[in-house]
Structure 1
Amino acid sequence: MAGCCEGPRSFVGVPLEKNTWGGHLPPGKPLSPMGLPWDCGCPSLTRHARRLLTSLITLLLLQLGSAQLRVEGPGHPLTATVGQDVVLPCHLSPQRDARSLDVRWIRDQISETVHHYRNGEDLYGEQMGAYAGRTELVRDGLSAGSLDLRITGLRPSDDGQYFCTVGDADAYAEAIVDLEVSEKQAAELAWRKFLLPHYKVKVTLDPDMAHHMYVLSQDNSRVRLESERHQDPDTRKTFDDRCCVLGREEFREGRHCWLVEVEGEQIKDSVWAVGVIKASMERTKGTKFFGDKWAVQYSKGQLESLTYPSTPLSLSPVPTRIWICLDCTQEQVSFFNADNGVQIYTSAVSFNGESLRPWFWIRTLGIQLCLRDSTPQTPSPALGSSCPCPATPASPLLGPAGAAQK
C-alpha cells in the first residue's frame, strides 16, 4: 500500500495547490515549518513531523545559547622558555563580564585541571599537582571578559595544548591555546647567572644626593624612607621634589652590573623603583624624568617599565633581587631576576656620551633597598677543581665572554 503522502494525489472533490516547496496540498491546510501539512490524513506522519520540529527548535535554541558565549584564543602558538613566566591569553567574544562564570583551564589528552575558577573563587581541589602554586587567573581583566591564565616558572612538561573552557547555566564554550616551551635558552640563563657577577661593580649611595626624607646606612649600601626630615635641605644636592637617591659612581663606557635587593615586611604592598639616570639631570622643582631615566618600578603587586607610557611586565612572583646591567657599548640597560637569570626588561639608552648614575626610589615606609656584594666565589685550589665555564651563547647585553670590566 502506498504511503499516505506518497506523490501528488487528489482528495475527493478537492483540487491540489502547489506550495512554496514545490509540493501539493489541499487549499486551506496549514503548513508545518518543513512544508508539510499539519494534518495530511496520516497520524503517524503528523507525529513524526512534530517530533522533528521539536528537535529542530531545541537544536536552534542550543545554538543561540552557544552563540551568546564564545571564547577566542590567540590564534597562534605561544613560545616561552624554561624558567620564565607566561600568560595564556583567552577572552569572551563579544565582551562580557566573566566574574560569575565557571572558568576551567585543562590540559589536552590528560583532561586534568590546570586551574579552576568559579564565581569569584579559585578552586584548587581538582588541580594537577604539577601546577600547584604556579597558576593564577588574571583577575584584573575578568570584568571585561578576559580569561588569561598566568603560569610561573615554566617546565619542559608544560609544553602542549591547553583548553580554556567557560560556562554558565545556559551555555558552554571553549578555545585552544598551544604553548611551546623551549629549553634552548636554558644554557643562556645558566650563563647569565655565572657571568653577571663578573661584570659587577661596587656601587654606593651618595649621601649628598639623597632626599632629606631618606636615611642611609653607615656604609651607604642601604636606604629607607622615614616620615621625618633627616637632612638639611640647604646642603643636599638632590632633586627638589623627588624622593630619590643616586649612586656615587658615574659610567660612560664599558659594561657594569650591580645587585639590588628589596627588604622589609610590607614588600607586597610597597612602591619602589631602580635604574639609571643621566648625571646631568636638572634638579629643579618640576623636573620631568621621562627620557633621561631608565628604570623598572614595582607598585603594589605590579612591575612595570618607567617608560611613557609605562609597560606592564608580567612576572609572578615579582623578583626582589634584581641585577641592573648597564651596557654603554651597546647603549642599553637590562634588568634580570637574580634568582633564576630570567630577563625582566631591556631598554635602549640614549645618553649621547654623557655619564649615567645608578638611581633608586622608595615611596613606602618599612622597606629598604640594599646594594649587595655578590662577588662570585671561586673554588679553592686545594680542592683541585675549577669553575666549569659553559659555552657562551650570543647575548644582546653581555656579548662574548671576556675579562671583567674594571
Structure 2
Amino acid sequence: TTLFLTPAQLGVVGPGHPVTATVGQDVVLPCHLFPQHDARSLDVRWMRDHISETVHHYRNGEDLYGEQMQAYAGRTELSRDGLSAGRLDLRITGLRPSDDGRYICIVKDADAYAEAIVELEVSAPGPELGKACPGLSSAPDGLAPSVPAVKVTLDPDTAHPLLVVSPDNKSVRRQTEPQQVPDTPERFDSWCCVLGHEEFREGRHCWLVEVEGEQIKDSWWAVGVARASLKRKGWINASPKEGIWAVRYYERQLMSLTWPHTYLSLSPIPTRIWVCLDCTQQQVSFIDADNGVEIFTFTAASFNGESIRPWFWLVSNSLQLFLRDSNPQTPSPALGGSCSSPDTPASPLLDPAGAEVLYRKMQSGSGISWVLSFMRL
C-alpha cells in the first residue's frame, strides 16, 4: 500500500496486504481516508495500475461510467454506506482471472490529491472445483476436463483469393497475389476471411488456434465464430450485430470485436488461443492456452437458431494461423504421466453454466498438487 500526503494533509490508506479471492466470487477492495474525512463530495477513481484505465469513477454523489473499462461494466460498486466516514471501498462482482493485479484508489478535491495501491490476488478454484462442476473429474495428479476438443478444419471454398489454405485444411496464410479460384457465393471477396468447415447448432465445443510468424507483434489477425449465414461479399461489420463473435489483434493491441471494441489488457499477447463455443448457453469464450487466463467471453450471443462456424481473419502476410490438435504426445498428467511438450497446452472446461476458466496455478492441500490436465481427443 502506498500513501501520498498533500499540503492539505489528505491521504489514502489501503489494507497493507494483498486481498485474496477466488474466480467467480465477489470481493471488496478496502481503502479509507486518513485522517478521517467525509468523502461524499470528493472525486474518487479506481484504476488498474498497469494500464491506467478506469475501473470505477465516483464524483459528487454520482457514479460516472463514461470512461469505465468494458471488462468491468456492471460489475463494480463504490460502497455508499461508508463514504461519510471516509471509506472508499470498491466492490467487484463475479471475479475473473484477468481481474488479478494492482489497483489504484485515487482521491481528489480542489486542493488535494492522494492515492493508494491495493493488490488483488485472484486464484483458481481449488480441489472443491470438481464438486461444483459436473463436467470436471479429479485424478490423483490433476484435474481432467471431460469435454473433448473438436477437430476443426478450414473450408477452402470460403477462403478469400489471397488466402492459401494448406492441403490438410489445418492452416492458412496470406499471399500478395490473388489465386485463380472460382468466385462462388460461398467465397469472401473483400475481407481476407475463411470459415471452418464444421457447423455447430448445439452442445459445447472448443478448438485450439495458434498464430505463428516472424513479425507477430506487428501483425493483424482475428479468430472467433460466425453465423453460417454471414455475408461473404463486400464490406463486413465485424461485430455480433453482423453475426461475428471474435477477438482481434491489431496495432499491438488485442481487442474483442464488440461494438464499440473492448481493448483487452493482456501481457504477453496470447498466440495460442482456445475458442470455446457453448451453443446451449449462447456464449463464446477465448482462453489463453499457455496459462489458462480468460481473454474475453461473449454472453447472450444472438445465434438466432443458426449454425455457427469457426471464423478466421488474416490481414498480415508475415504469419500463419494453425488449427492444432490438442492430443498430447506424452501421457496426460491426469493419468499419472507428465507432459512438457509446448504443443499440449492447458485445456479449458466448458461446464453446463458456460465457459469455466481453468488456468495453471499450483495449489496445495493435504499434500496433493492440483494442476490442469491436458485434453485427449
Q: 1:300: Cα distance to partner?
A: 2.4
1:204 aligned residue (150, 153, 166): 153
2:319 aligned residue (340, 354, 367): 367
The yes-or-no answer on 1:315 pairing with 2:272 is: no
What is residue 284 of structure 1 aligned with on the other side?
233
Contact 2:147–2:350 (Cα < 8 Å) also in 1: no
Deviation string 1:204-248 (CA, Å, 9 cap, x unpaired) is 111101000111111111111111112325247222311100000
Q: Distance in 1 between matches of 2:288 and 2:103?
A: 27
Code of the aligned partner of 2:209: V
Q: 1:315: Cα distance to partner?
A: 0.9
Q: Distance in 2 between matches of 1:398 and 1:137?
A: 27
1:269 aligned residue (211, 218, 233): 218
Deviation string 1:302-359 (CA, Å, 9 cap, x unpaired) is 1111011111111111111000011112111111111111111111221122101000
The yes-or-no answer on 1:397 pairing with 2:362 is: no
Q: Distance in 2 between matches of 1:393 and 1:279?
A: 22
* Cα separation, partners in 2 of 1:194 and 1:274, compared to 1, 3 Å: farther
Q: Distance in 2 between matches of 1:139 and 1:180?
A: 16
Aligned residues: percent identity? 50
Q: Distance in 2 between matches of 1:139 and 1:163?
A: 9
What is residue 125 of structure 2 aligned with on the other side?
185
The yes-or-no answer on 1:175 pairing with 2:115 is: yes
The yes-or-no answer on 1:219 pairing with 2:168 is: yes
Code of the aligned partner of 1:372: R
What is residue 57 of structure 2 aligned with on the other side?
none
What is residue 361 of structure 2 aligned with on the other side?
none
The yes-or-no answer on 1:344 pairing with 2:295 is: yes
TM-score of the pair, normalised by structure 2? 0.57
The yes-or-no answer on 1:228 pairing with 2:177 is: yes
Deviation string 1:262-295 (CA, Å, 9 cap, x unpaired) is 0001111111100000001222323434321100
| Greater length-normalized contact order (CA 8 Å, ≥ 6 residues apart) | 2
Q: 1:63: Cα distance to partner?
A: 3.0
- Secondary structure of the 1:268 match is helix
* Cα separation, partners in 2 of 1:194 and 1:301, compared to 1, 3 Å: farther
Q: Distance in 2 between matches of 1:239 and 1:172?
A: 57
2:187 aligned residue (212, 230, 238): 238
* Cα separation, partners in 2 of 1:264 and 1:194, compared to 1, 3 Å: farther
Contact 2:185–2:232 (Cα < 8 Å) also in 1: no
Report matched runs for 1:153-172 at 5 Å: none
TM-score of the pair, normalised by structure 1? 0.54
Code of the aligned partner of 1:63: P
* Cα separation, partners in 2 of 1:394 and 1:257, compared to 1, 3 Å: closer
Code of the aligned partner of 2:285: S
What is residue 121 of structure 1 aligned with on the other side?
none
Q: 1:397: Cα distance to partner?
A: 2.3
Deviation string 1:58-106 (CA, Å, 9 cap, x unpaired) is xxxx838x89xx9999xxx976769xxxxx9xxxx99xxxxxxxxxxxx
- Secondary structure of the 1:63 match is coil
Give the number of the structure whose alpha-carbon radius of gyration is greater. 1
- Secondary structure of the 1:303 match is strand
Q: Which runs of 5+ in 1 are unaligned?
A: 1-61, 83-87, 95-134, 147-153, 166-170
* Cα separation, partners in 2 of 1:200 and 1:234, compared to 1, 3 Å: same
The yes-or-no answer on 1:300 pairing with 2:242 is: no
* Cα separation, partners in 2 of 1:185 and 1:207, compared to 1, 3 Å: same
* Cα separation, partners in 2 of 1:405 and 1:357, compared to 1, 3 Å: farther
What is residue 255 of structure 1 aligned with on the other side?
204
Code of the aligned partner of 2:323: L
* Cα separation, partners in 2 of 1:186 and 1:361, compared to 1, 3 Å: farther
Q: Which runs of 5+ in 2 are unaligned?
A: 1-5, 24-28, 30-41, 55-66, 68-96, 131-135, 339-348, 357-374
Q: Distance in 2 between matches of 1:162 and 1:213?
A: 45
Higher relative strand content: 2
1:358 aligned residue (293, 296, 310): 310
* Cα separation, partners in 2 of 1:299 and 1:162, compared to 1, 3 Å: closer
Contact 1:213–1:231 (Cα < 8 Å) also in 2: no
- Secondary structure of the 1:199 match is coil
* Cα separation, partners in 2 of 1:78 and 1:270, compared to 1, 3 Å: farther
Higher relative helix content: 1
Q: Distance in 2 between matches of 1:296 and 1:393?
A: 19
* Cα separation, partners in 2 of 1:354 and 1:386, compared to 1, 3 Å: same
- Secondary structure of the 2:275 match is strand
Report matched runs for 1:318-333 at 5 Å: 318-333=269-284
- Secondary structure of the 1:344 match is strand
Q: 1:252: Cα distance to partner?
A: 0.5
Report matched runs for 1:92-107 at 5 Å: none
